[in-house]
Amino acid sequence: MRTLYLARHGEASGALTDAGRSQALLLGERLADVPLTEVFHSPVRRAAETAALVSSALKSVRVSVSPLVGDYLPYAPSAIELAPEFASVALAHVADYSTQQHEVGPALANRALAEFTAPVPRSDLIITHSQIVCWFVRAALGAPTARWLGINAANAALTIIQYRQGWPPNLVTFNDQSHLPPSLRWTGFPTERRSAW
């Protein structure tokens, strides 16, 4: 069985904020006793800083940078793939990604799934970005490719997916923030949505 631990980087404004550093350290404490095979992280600064802080709590776990879990657009849906009531907002969100993120994203997203979901005996941690966590969750649930939109990963929240031969992927947990105090939870969400929690 392969177990994949996915986490969005800590809160950042370019580099990690003070809150983001605290989130990363607490995530590391949460994972300190997990027998991880390797930690992979996005090349982007906020993810690399998060990975360094998380791995400081781990016991001799190899840390590797991987463009497969970088900051890109995994899939750009057409309007026809989206429910009419949120198509305009979703398409505006997709338009915020750069031309390069549009161009390289789909191939990287498919390679990431091929690389990290094969049912081999490993337990890997991936420190990445919200849309990449959402892409893995969408794939695990067998949802349409456009459905990564509408899912959101909070900063330093933990998502766990297990892969076994001959069995559908098992989404063990999504957006688990039990390692964070209330003041550090739900960052990375729009303010109006955070106020509900």
Supply the DSSP string of 110-154, one letter for each residue.
Answer: HHHHHHH-S--SEEEEEEE-HHHHHHHHHHHHT--GGGGTT--PP
Question: Does residue 49 lie within any of the structural domains?
Answer: yes
Question: Does residue 80 lie within any of the structural domains?
Answer: yes
pLDDT attached to residue 197:
53
Task: Check which CATH number belongs to the domain holding 67 and give it.
Answer: 3.40.50.1240
Rounded-to-10 torsion of CA 2, 137, 72, 43? -40
Amino acid in the structure at residue 58: L
- First-last CA distance in the chain: 35
Question: Does residue 67 lie within any of the structural domains?
Answer: yes
Question: Does residue 164 lie within any of the structural domains?
Answer: yes
**Domains: count for the chain:** 1
Q: What is the pLDDT of residues 105-124, one digit of tens each?
A: 999 999 999 999 999 999 99
Range of the domain at 62: 2-175
Considering the entire predicted model, what is its pTM? 0.94
Question: Does residue 103 lie within any of the structural domains?
Answer: yes
Q: What is the pLDDT of residues 76-105, one digit of tens each?
A: 999 999 999 999 999 999 999 999 999 999
Question: Does residue 126 lie within any of the structural domains?
Answer: yes
Q: What is the pLDDT of residues 148-174, one digit of tens each?
A: 999 999 999 999 999 999 999 999 999
Question: Does residue 194 lie within any of the structural domains?
Answer: no
